[in-house]
Amino acid sequence: MSVLATRIGTRASIARACEDLDTFTLAVLEALVVEGADAAPVALPTQLLGPDVKPKPLKQAVARLKSLALAWGEDDALSVPPVTREAFGAYPGGLGRRTGQTYDLTGITEGEQRVMQKLAAGPPIGDTKDASRVIPLEKADTPVQRLLARGLLLRRDPGTVELPREIGLALRGERPLGPIQVTEPKPKTSALAQTSVDATGGGEALELVRHVENLIASWSAEPPPVLRTGGLGVRELRKVAKDLDVDERRAALLIELVVGADLAANTEATEPEWVPTTKADVWLAATAEVRWATLANAWLELPRLPALIGRRDEKDKLFNPLADEIRRAQAPRDRRWVLETLAAFPKGTAIANPADLAALLGWRAPRRGGRQRDELVRWTVEEGTAVGVLALGAITAAGRVLLDEGPGHAAKTLGDALPEPLDHVLVQADLTVVAPGRLEPDLADEMALVANVESAGSATVYRISEATVRRALDAGRTADDLRELFTQRSRTPVPQSLSYLIDDAARRHGRLRGGAAGSFLRCDDPVLITEVLAHPEAARLELRRIAPTVIVSPVPLADVLDGLRAAGFAPAAEGPDGQVLDLRPGGRRTTPRQRTARKPASPAVPADERLGELVRLVRAGDRAAATPRGERVAVPGHLGAGPSATLSLLQQAARARRRVLVGFVDSHGTAAQRVIEPHVVGGGVLEGYDHSYGEVLRFPLHRVTSAALVDED
């Protein structure tokens, strides 16, 4: 118990406990320190807190301090840990040292009044050249010299003066610690329909998933290099922003999420690159809501601050994406802090201005978040909105479930909030296709193959061109397949221009067939073969005719087809069975990192049963230390087979199911003690249940140094 009490009373422990105190409770604790409760018991500091503080909130604050062991005693004799004063700096309350004297403030000049008022506002010390020596009052020329001569200022050293506490309190009037906000500020809120919040958040979630899909595809084809100092270069960040058609701020967040979710990783090769991992394939095969839940949970647990990307540090060094400089271990805790505050409001409650939310959190925990607390709140709101956890200033139903129950349940909640996937599209006469909502997975895959996304949102617009039709034909689709797709899935008539485009592309597509020789080309039309050989590209591709309708090349087939397509031809690849072969690259992959379980930023609060067990164990340890000698055995030297007294004590405890405080030396030579309930004693081994850690342990008997029965309640 004494060890526990010592640790509770350390400076670090006091500072940690103060992080969770609200502004008013912190002011009460500071008032107790100003009154000297760290040295001797004091009464409730009602006069220091001022006339605005009523008895009820004051008693509630004191009860809160007592629950954290930051104060104890009756209301007329309260004490605080001695090191509490250090938690408030050198001058708690901005007041100087107590002198125990009475001061006469009559007859002071206006200049002297200004000096004392400035020091009374805090801090109570000031630098001056007039403190080199104390000059008699009749010879003093400056306000500081006259105040020193009259004893109204204390000389600390030749360049520093201090205002006594008694004078500071007198000058501050009826509110010695300044205005104290007893209750938390009320942010300006608005009531929204939860369905509207969820619908807006669902749209953002789908947009997030789409952008991450495109980022994975981009890095699969062309992985960006890793900087020598780690992270991603500015040029690569701008490329991602351009490829995804987003601003650099969102691009940076997407990059951090992809790596944070382990969908991409550093290859750590000789020339390292950021490459999608094999987990990306599993992610791409999942439903949209599961993919979103993976990304949202990665953001929630991300120990980094993506909002710092693009800024500069104190040395004017730019913060790059994925760099170690933006790592912050407390980021997940602060992120949850903001989100849980929003989740505590009734459903559909929106806080439009993040500054109001920052003011609320600043009152609830003024010592948490550091200098960037207000910015952290704003960044969390912006990122949470981009991720789909927040929408319209309120938390979504899926975001609320993500906080409480995890990503699995959050995915289901998002799926329930999203509209049912559509099985149709609207084909327009200008060769655009409108998807008025989320498409079924197979239809979405077909549309992504045969068209490019022109604009995205609640309705997605696709653009069909000759290149996209040819892409679908290269993947093995036929003209009949494409016509059937649009005929069956379009709620509007298929325009004739689209049919012409498909037929024209299909007529030209595949007239040339390629295989591996290196590679070969075949065509039923010898004239086309002659035309290909006559083209200047034929020399670069090292093409040669081996039959009237066959050409071969040592160049890989994919390069041959790319070269001919660039020259204006429309060749297609074929497999051994003569069917069209899809040669599109599947993208590079790397092995995902072996992640260890991430330690929470704050320790979890034990359950009541666990706390009760810990208290019982602490008391048992104290009783064991005071156990009479007759019930205690100290083992001299090595135990070996074990003295009969020790074995008898342990066996007796095993039979009676009594606990024993066992002292032992581990394999590293470190002495330790455990409270054990012995199960097996014999064969040179003590086996028993460790109630401190909730596990069964085995001790070689020759390492046991002492044993004592623990008294039971």
Distance CA 405, CA 400 (A): 9
Query: 392: pLDDT confidence band, cut at 50, 70 and 90?
Result: very high
**DSSP conformation class of 304:** B
pLDDT at 600: 54
Question: Which residues, other chains included, contact 544 with Cβ-Cβ below 8 Å and sequence gap of 6+?
Answer: 533, 551, 552, 553
Question: Which residues, other chains included, contact 461 with Cβ-Cβ below 8 Å and sequence gap of 6+?
Answer: 432, 433, 434, 435, 453, 454, 455
**DSSP conformation class of 320:** P
- For 109, list phi and psi in degrees, rounded to 5: -85, 170
- 358-379: burial string, b at 16+ Cβ within 10 Å, e else: bbbbbebbbbbbeeebbbbbbb
Query: 599: pLDDT confidence band, cut at 50, 70 and 90?
Result: low
pLDDT in tens, 261-315: 999 999 888 889 999 999 999 999 888 899 999 999 999 999 999 999 988 888 8
Closest CA to 308 of 332, 296, 325: 325
pLDDT in tens, 477-527: 888 999 999 999 999 999 999 998 999 988 888 877 776 677 889 998 889
pLDDT at 642: 45
3-state SS string for 404-436: HHCHHHHHHHHHHHCCCCECCEEECCCCEEEEC
pLDDT at 275: 92
pLDDT at 4: 78
- Residues 463, 428 contacting (CB under 8 angstroms): no
- Residues 402, 300 contacting (CB under 8 angstroms): yes
- Higher per-residue confidence, 101 vs 583: 101
Distance CA 4, CA 10 (A): 10
What are the residues facing 103 on neighbouring strands?
none
- Residues 297, 407 contacting (CB under 8 angstroms): yes
Least confident of 65-69, 329-333, 671-675: 671-675
pLDDT at 159: 84
- The mean of the pLDDT values for the chain is 85
pLDDT at 71: 92
Tell whether the model's pLDDT for residue 565 goes beyond 80: yes
Q: Classify the C-alpha dihedral 213-214-220-226 as positive or negative.
A: negative
Cis-peptide, bond into residue 123, ω within 30° of zero: yes
In the chain, what percentage of residues exceed pLDDT 90?
34
pLDDT at 693: 62
Q: Compute the average pLDDT of residues 643-655.
A: 75
- Residues 322, 231 contacting (CB under 8 angstroms): yes
DSSP string spanning 564-630? HHHTT---EEB-TTSSB---------BPPP-PPPPPPSSPPPPPHHHHHHHHHHHHHHHHHHT--GG
What are the residues facing 673 on neighbouring strands?
663
Q: Is 263 helix (H, G, I), strand (E, B) or coil?
A: coil
Distance CA 424, CA 487 (A): 10
**DSSP conformation class of 179:** -
344: Cα within 13 Å, side-chain hemisphere:
9
pLDDT at 630: 42
- For 45, list phi and psi in degrees, rounded to 5: -80, 60
Query: 588: pLDDT confidence band, cut at 50, 70 and 90?
Result: low
DSSP string spanning 37-101? TTTS-B---HHHH-TT--HHHHHHHHHHHHHTTS-BS-TTSBB--GGGGGGG-SSGGG-------
Q: Which range, 168-182, 329-343, 643-657, has the best average confidence (pLDDT)?
A: 329-343
**DSSP conformation class of 312:** B
Say which residue the tokens 């993947």 belong to.
Answer: 475
Tell whether the model's pLDDT for residue 638 goes beyond 60: no
- Name the pTM for this structure: 0.72
pLDDT at 277: 92
Query: 705: pLDDT confidence band, cut at 50, 70 and 90?
Result: confident
Tell whether the model's pLDDT for residue 324 goes beyond 80: yes
pLDDT in tens, 192-230: 999 999 999 998 999 999 999 999 999 998 999 999 888
Query: 637: pLDDT confidence band, cut at 50, 70 and 90?
Result: very low
Measured N-to-C along each axis, helices 288-300 and 278-285 cross at an angle, to the nearest 10 degrees, of 130
Question: Which residues, other chains included, contact 114 with Cβ-Cβ below 8 Å and sequence gap of 6+?
Answer: 143
Q: Compute the average pLDDT of residues 148-154.
A: 84
Distance CA 9, CA 11 (A): 7
Q: Compute the average pLDDT of residues 135-145.
A: 82
Q: How many CB atoms lie within 10 A of CB 350?
A: 19
- Residues 555, 542 contacting (CB under 8 angstroms): yes
Q: Give the DSSP H/E element, type plus range, for residue 682.
A: strand 671-682
Distance CA 713, CA 710 (A): 10
DSSP string spanning 660-676? EEEEEE-TTS-EEEEEE
Measured N-to-C along each axis, helices 397-405 and 331-343 cross at an angle, to the nearest 10 degrees, of 130
Distance CA 510, CA 441 (A): 28
- Higher per-residue confidence, 142 vs 238: 238
